Each structure stands twice: as C-alpha cells, then as structure tokens.
Structure 1
C-alpha cells in the first residue's frame, strides 16, 4: 500500500499498484464518499473522459476504492486539452439535473455568513464580491472543484478528471473559473471557443475564481491552521486587486 496524499476531505492510498483507496479526514465527509459510490457508476458512461468509479469497501469506518485514473497533473495545458476539457464540461453540464437529484446530488449553500464574519473584516474591499453572489444559478450538475490537480493528462492529451467529492447542482460557471482565469491563453481560448462561453458566463466564472481563497480561509479556521488562514487571506487580497465588478444594468 502506497500513500498518495490527502486533500481537504479525504486521504488516499494506492493498493496493489491499481486501486485508489480513500478514507474521510472528517466525520461529515463519510456520507459524501458513500454518495460517490451511487452517483459515479451512473455518471461515468455519460462523460467523454475517464473518471473515478468508487465502490464501498467498508461502511464503518467508511472506505471507498476505485481504479486508478491514468495521467498526471498538467502544468501547462495546451489548446487541444482545452478543447477536450470543454467537451467534457459540455457533457457534464448537459446531464439531467433531476436524474442527479434522484441519486442524492443537491445544491450547495454558500457560507456567505461565514465569509462576512471570518474573511470580510480582513478584506473589506470584498463586499461587492459577496453582493455579486446573490442570484447565481443552481440548476446544473457541476464538478464543483475543477482545478489543475484534478485534470490529468499525458503526451499532450487529457486522460481523466478526478475528485468528484464536491459534485452538486450549481452554476456551470464555477467549473470554468480556473480554466478561464488561471491557465495558458491557448488553453483558455480553445476551451472558451469549444464550450461557447458567453460574456455572462465569463463574468460569473470570474466571480467564482475570486471566491476560491475565501474557502481556504474558512478551511484554515476549521482545522486550526493559522498559516493556511494567512495564505488564504493573501490570495483574497491579491485577486481582489485585479477584479473589476460589473456595473449594474437597468
């Protein structure tokens, strides 16, 4: 058994060179892992790239296992990979939300009250960002945590997308945040063209991109890690410096 690492929610080990075994880091994550064993076998055949399809190994303690998804993190994704990811997201976002809801997928409520209490006092210039969160859509099946560590590739092509623990019904622009705002231009442009990104989608993706470090602050507070809190606050301030709120329209 080889230790692979841990994220915010779970820790992973490689078993027999083929199977990824995951355990929750916090008690409330257990049901989330169990839900993946229900949703992912249904969802995987609908998507154009390989994804984890976990099975439940143990209920107490919760342990799930899935076959290793081939590939590595791509530090500089290319245009062809941008087109691939756009096709993946088009397929994911087209999945019927009511079918996902039948399998336990729900909207995720943003912790706006905690943002105001724990982040805003340290970055009061972020008030317009919190105001912009009102009315964002919650009607689409989204990955919910799409970033560089969850998009795998090899030899210039994508080979899989991993970590569906934050799968929920939400705003499709959330899945475009990193892809449009933190990737090489050739990747972002190819993705935007293939997906058909509108001005409104791009603006909402910018809002979600701004919000990323706010979650880091809350997580740092949850686990009592001041260094993580400070890192998150630095990210909040850095991103706010370049964010221009959209002017309200009549």
Structure 2
C-alpha cells in the first residue's frame, strides 16, 4: 500500500533537522513508477521533495544520484546555466530510506511540446553543452565512471552482438551497424562529462528556457552523443536540428560526428528493447521491437547501400525510437 503524503511529510521532518512542514501533496511517481514522492512546503515558504524507492532498481538509482549530487560541488554548479537540486537529508524506512531534496522550480518538458519558435530547443542544446563543458577531473575524483572511446565502442558492439544472437534483427540493419562500428573516424572524439540518461523529462523549463536538470544517477565521463540521441525523436519540425546547432555553437566542438553516433545510439535503443523483451520472456515486447526494427529498415532504406559512417549517415527523426522509449519507461 502506497504511503500517504502525510506519512511522507512526517518522514521528511525526521530526515531534515528543523524542517517545519506547512503542507504536503503527492508528487508523481518518478520516471519508472518506482518512487513514492511528495512535494512539501515549509512554513518559511521553501519547497522540498521527498522520495522513497519502491524497487531495488529505484534504490540503486537513488544511491547513485546521491553520489552524483555530492560530486557536483558549488564550484561545478556555478558553471551551469540552470539549477541542480541539493540533498537535504534522509531517514530509514522499511528496509530502505526516504531522501529529501531541495525542490527545483520549472515545468516538465514533454518531447512533443518542444518547438523551435519558443527558444526551448536552443536552450536545451545550450544546457547540454554546459554539462559537456564541465571539467572531467571532478568525475574521477568522485570515483564515478570514466570511459574511453574504445570502451564506448566495445559496449555498442556487445549490444549489437547480443541482438544479432536473437536472429530477429534484419540483416540490413546488422550490416549498417557493423559498418558504423568499423568506421574509425566515427569514434575519434574526446570524452566529456555527460549526464548519461537524458530525456525530455529530465529538463525543467520556464518561459522557453531550461531552469533545471533532474536525474544525475548516470553521471560519468563518456560520449557526448549519449546525451543527444533522444532529440532525434522530436516530432516538432527542425527541433533536433535547432538543438544540435545550439549545442555545436555553444561547444565550438570539433566533434563533427556527434550526430552520427547519436543516430546509432537511437537505433541501438530498439535493439536494447528487443533484448529486454527476450530477458523478460515477453512476446509482446519482442514483437513490438521486431516491428520497430523492420520499420527502421523502411525509414533508412535509402541509406542501406551505403555505410552508416561519418560522411554518409543521414540525420533523421526516428519516431519509433521515441515510442519505444515511452513504452520502456512504463514497463
């Protein structure tokens, strides 16, 4: 039985010394429905969020998020053009722990609502660029993962090989992906600080600008394209292009292949969905993933005779990837 917002408010007062809660309301359920949460208002007018994980996955995510938030020091945060929450306190409850955070103001950003004419796509591109411009040293100092291009390439190959072993991936796609992993120019990039699990709902916005960024549990040094691939699922006209352009302008980056790797990661998300279905022995998920893979073949058929490489890869909006990600979040 889910805990009430009043119970969560009582836990918050135990977690944060001196917290005097004036009101409390239920607050969503997290990206995967794995948290009980409440929005709290203190008598001083400040707002707080309390979250209690309801699964092992959520508990591990919350622990990793706390490590990342501690790594994001005041000096690091000062380099960011948006707010990041702060850990306020915690208290044990039912074999896990309730954690209280400072509330970050802004509205969630549904992917379908992003438009180019309101400036939000540009702001998202600049926000991601700011994360990637952070010094990598603080990641290593905090003991967080630091990946090399070779390790990142190898992880993509592992996903491809596992998907190929199901014998459910169209040969045309396997060939396309293999050519991409064999293109050395595609993997010549400088790893940066990345959030690692960005989606539209990671962002908070107000008046067409990014005000906050949530969910830091996969903070690491890695491929900047990992933070960008989700933009390719935007339905709005030229949204992805606007965000990528703003990102490139802010970064002044020489990584000309970031869009291409982002597209590859977007396609491999469908392969991950297939693997998830096989692991869960879910015929429904497997059938959905197979249909999406065949749909992807149709989408990129004009490019299948060429290599998915640094100079031939098209930049496309893969709506199937967005739909899959939505289903994966609800799974």
TM over 0.5: yes
Look up the SS of the partner of 1:129 in the other structure: helix
Deviations 1:137-169 (A, max 9, x none): 572111222222222324433332222222222
Partners of 2:199 and 2:290 in 1: CA distance: 19
Distance 1:216-1:64 versus aligned 2 partners, 3 A rule = farther
1:66 and 2:85 are equivalent in the alignment: no
2:220 is the alignment partner of 1:163: no
The TM-score with structure 2 as length reference comes to 0.62
- The TM-score, its normalising length taken from structure 1, stands at 0.79
Q: Displacement, 1:8?
A: 4.6
Match of residue 85 from structure 2? 52
Structure 1 counterpart of 2:66: 34
**Judging changes above 3 Å, is the alpha-carbon distance between structure 1 residues 112 and 189 closer, same or farther for their aligned structure 2 residues?**
closer
Distance 2:97 2:178 in 1: 35
Instruction: Spell out the pairing of 1:1-250 with structure 2 (5 A cutoff).
Output: 1=5, 2=26, 4-8=28-32, 10-16=34-40, 18-23=48-53, 25-26=55-56, 28-29=60-61, 31-42=63-74, 43-55=76-88, 57-58=90-91, 61-69=96-104, 70-74=106-110, 75-79=112-116, 80-107=119-146, 110=155, 112-113=157-158, 115-118=160-163, 120-125=166-171, 126-127=173-174, 128-130=176-178, 132-133=180-181, 136=187, 137=189, 139-196=191-248, 199-221=256-278, 225-243=282-300, 244=303, 245-247=307-309
CA contact (8 A) 2:193 2:219 kept: yes
Please report the RMSD computed on the Cα atoms of aligned residues, expressed in angstroms.
3.3
Q: Is the 8 A contact 2:114 2:234 kept in 1?
A: no
